[in-house]
A and B are shown apart, each in its own frame.
Chain A
Amino acid sequence: MTSERQNAINDGLCSSDRERMLDALNALNELLRAREADSSSLRPLTALLRDGDAEVRRAATWSVAKLAQNKAVDDAPLDFLITLLADEDEEVRENAAWALGELAGASGKDEAIEPLNVLLDDANAQVRGMAVWALGRMAERMQLAHRSSVPRLEALLDDRSLYVSKGAAWTLERIRPLDPQA
């Protein structure tokens, strides 16, 4: 059952008062870190994924990913997350990839693979690394993979970032046995 605190936070997330909504996002962050939030926040968070303010999209995507990590997601906003892989803000792109990786196993879509492939060339190492990891998780947990990811991942084996190069090896280990044809 949803706690009173989370119900109050959910009301705040829906508020037209910006300050109250931002406070609610911060409070939800704390609740999620303590693993005390359930999936009731998903609906108001999904609305915030489309907010015009990148700060809000960052916090909303982080919260969706954390809910998924805590296995507290019943109806994941996959299409919104896939769209956000092309967001203008790098942290939003990273968080969207993180969320899709966390969701893998419970829910996932073939349509996420090409936008994740695009992120393998992202200028930001954190974004590249998270896209690499998400592709590996989708392969491992859902047997979802495309051949088109393989040469791009191979190119990242020499990436200057340790997270990216090690991640590319980790993901290739998971994609190659599937021998994806597409």
Chain B
Amino acid sequence: MTDESQAMKRCLWHAPDGRCSSCKARRIRCDVLHLKDYEMCEGERFYGQCDFYMAKPDVKK
């Protein structure tokens, strides 16, 4: 079984410690979605549902 979201690149806002570093996303997740842990990213499985997802750009060589 293939999960499409598994193939999505790491989100730019998904910090190594699991937090969401998008200030805009956190505001909406806190106020509108009433998420208790609005600072935490739900992880790669949820990238496809997140309007604030932004693929992390490749490091310039």
**A and B from one assembly?**
yes
Please give the distance in Å from A140's CB to the nearest CB on chain B: 9
**Tier of interface size on chain A:** 20 to 34
Interface centre among B21, B31, B32, B49 (most CB of A within 10 A): B32
Tell me how far the C-beta of B25 lies from the nearest C-beta in chain A, rounded to whole angstroms. Answer: 9
Which single residue of chain A is at the shortest CB-CB distance from B23?
A: A66
Contact A126 B51 (CB under 8 A): yes
- The binding surface of chain A is classed by DSSP as helix
Complex interface bits, B22-61 against A, C-beta within 8 A gives 1, otherwise 0: 0110011001110000000000000001011000000000
- Cα-based distance from A166 to B28 in the complex (angstroms): 10
Residues of B with Cβ closer than 8 Å to A?
21, 23-24, 27-28, 31-33, 49, 51-52
10 contacts between A and B (CB under 8 A): A33-B21, A69-B23, A102-B27, A125-B51, A126-B51, A126-B52, A130-B24, A137-B31, A162-B33, A167-B32
